[in-house]
Structure 1
Amino acid sequence: MASSTLLPLILVFLHGLRGGNGCFTTIFSFGDSIADTGNLLISEHGNIQSARPPYGQTFFHRPTGRYSDGRLIIDFIAEALGFPFMRPFQEGPGDGGFRRGVNFAVAGATALDVHFFRERGMDVLWTNISLQIQFGWFKELLPSLCSTDSDCRNLLATSLFLAGEIGGNDYVIAFGRGKSLSEIKSYVPIVNHAIGVLINDLIELGAKTLLVPGNFPIGCIPVFLTLFEHSEDHDLSTGCIKWLNDFAQYQNKHLQLELDRLRALHPLATIIYADYYNPIMNIISNHNNNSNGKVTLDACCGGGGPYNFGNPVHCGDDRASVCDDPSLYISWDGVHLTEAAYRFIAEGLLEGPYADPPIKELCSPIRLIRDDQAHKVDDA
């Protein structure tokens, strides 16, 4: 394992004024565990994996319901734009209200409603939260944020919407139930249509700027590496499973076609595709092609076994172990990423090249300051 850190961790993108940069007034977030800042924790009364140490150890120094050792992509974006960390919808508005933003993302959420899976013989036991349910929460909340149609349209026009990442769980369910690749590929346009419906509905209400992430290279993630451990299609240069990464690229290509369709329908809206695939592949390729040696695909936190994942002991269990330095790892718990990996993706969304246009072109200036000048832990 390389002795240097996986990513440059000294700087974080932050605007100089904590109150915001005059570009976006509010941030709204939809999605699953990649963006959940505490909704599942609250709804399950703390009886979840991410409610236990070592979750949150790197930045918050306590579990917050985030499925990582620290901050998520949404956290870095909020910091960069001068916003406080996103309040989970289930927490309620608190004293400050939701005017600065609200996070509807829930760990385990799917793009499609649960009946889609049940009709195809797949029981979904851990969630009934889909994108449409999250959109329903948004519509329920909106009258408390603006009093007239004109006021609401102005609020939404000056807000940043993060529509995902979502859809990954839809595929996890299908792969885990042994569905064939050809059948799962047939779900792709249905999943992307559900994402498109959310985007279209938000734009029709007045949204102007939307960031829509694609899928990760799932062939490099321990949950899939373990599930398909005996696959003969491993890439010797990366250790990833090629056909799974091909599927992720297939999903991302079709999502981008859906976004092109929506751009044609709504030429006044800015719909940004957020590339979550290439940042991770670039980390792996850059490390594997230099003197630092190959980056591990193992989970930092887990219970042993192949890729430190896949046996009954999981991160957050008493018998689980955690690596000494999560910044040397891409995967945190075998399913989700480390703060270091999320930071690298967020940097590419803010500065480019993993968003077109990058967020800095919409909200300039964004400047670099040291991480020790970032939000304090009690802001979470």
Structure 2
Amino acid sequence: MASSSFSFFQILSATTTLLLLLEAHQASSCFSAIFSFGDSLQDTGNAAHMFVNSALSNPPYGTTYFHKATGRYCDGRIILDFIGAKTFVVPGNLPIGCIPAWLGQYRSDKPSDYDRNGCLIWMNNFSEYHNSHLQTELDRLKGQFPSVTIAYADYLNSGIRMFSNQAQFGITVPFTACCGGNGYPCNATGPVCPNPLNHASWEGFHPTEATYHAISDGIIRGPYAIPFLSQKC
């Protein structure tokens, strides 16, 4: 039946990335298992099987923390086992106004279109608009499922913090892709920058390890911390 609001499973499929944490059976702050799934921003091992004989079927795509895919695709839908799920972490959108591909496509001659970090203001405002609606839906779900912990991960402001304090995270090249460029694709034959750790973007769309580190630092340690993520076993 049609509805003006998202269902629980629509929220899961609509988010860029979602971490599903299963509560530990023992009385501790540990989690017995972690299921992580999403799109190409967080490759869960499925891309290598979905895009055979393409750049996405070659390393590093398909490599996961668990050395195998964490879910399987069927007719475009992710099939996962939700039995025992008690804790969800749902991230908001990244500061897309800082992504090199969009900075190039929507280049403006007006200085007022950019913030002090060099990011497009209107695109980051769009991310903020998306995230505000996402949080509204998450609040609704919290009321609908009071026994489940649903936490929002503020990727937007954690990412903006990184662009505002680039030196703190060792980033000296925030808006130039590390891989490919100048007409070359990002694949096995494409050029790669000598030091990916000082770049914020891998190939113009996807963050580098340095960016992920900076964003996760803000989510785990603060100032955008989710308390239970910093708990130790």
CA contact (8 A) 1:231 1:241 kept: no
Identity of aligned residues (%): 39
Amino acid aligned to 1:209: T
CA-CA distance at 1:30 after TM superposition: 2.6
Question: For 1:352, which of 210, 222, 225 is the aligned residue?
Answer: 222
TM-score (norm 1): 0.48
Q: Which residue of 1 aligns with 2:45?
A: 38
Amino acid aligned to 2:148: A
Q: Which residue of 2 aligns with 1:224?
A: 102
Dislocated runs of 4+, deviation >6 Å: none
CA contact (8 A) 2:171 2:198 kept: no
CA-CA distance at 1:347 after TM superposition: 2.7
CA distance in 2, matches of 1:261, 1:212: 14
Larger radius of gyration: 1
CA-CA distance at 1:246 after TM superposition: 0.5
Superposition RMSD in Å: 2.8
Question: For 1:26, which of 33, 36, 55 is the aligned residue?
Answer: 33
Q: Which residue of 1 aligns with 2:179?
A: 301
Question: For 1:277, which of 156, 179, 187 is the aligned residue?
Answer: 156
Asked if residue 342 in structure 1 is aligned to residue 212 in structure 2, the reply is yes
SS at 1:210's partner residue?
Answer: strand
- After TM superposition, the structure 1 = structure 2 runs for residues 245-260 of structure 1, keeping only pairs within 5 Å, are 245-260=124-139
Gap change, CA 1:27 and 1:236, over 3 Å in 2: closer
CA-CA distance at 1:217 after TM superposition: 0.5
Amino acid aligned to 1:302: G
Asked if residue 330 in structure 1 is aligned to residue 208 in structure 2, the reply is no
Q: Which residue of 1 aligns with 2:92?
A: 214
CA contact (8 A) 2:88 2:150 kept: yes
Amino acid aligned to 1:315: C
Q: Which residue of 2 aligns with 1:65?
A: 61
Amino acid aligned to 2:41: I
- After TM superposition, the structure 1 = structure 2 runs for residues 186-205 of structure 1, keeping only pairs within 5 Å, are none
Amino acid aligned to 1:208: K
Which stretches in structure 2 are left out of the alignment for 5+ residues? 1-27
Number of aligned positions between the proteins: 203
TM-score (norm 2): 0.75
CA distance in 1, matches of 2:61, 2:188: 15
CA distance in 2, matches of 1:303, 1:231: 22
CA contact (8 A) 2:44 2:71 kept: yes
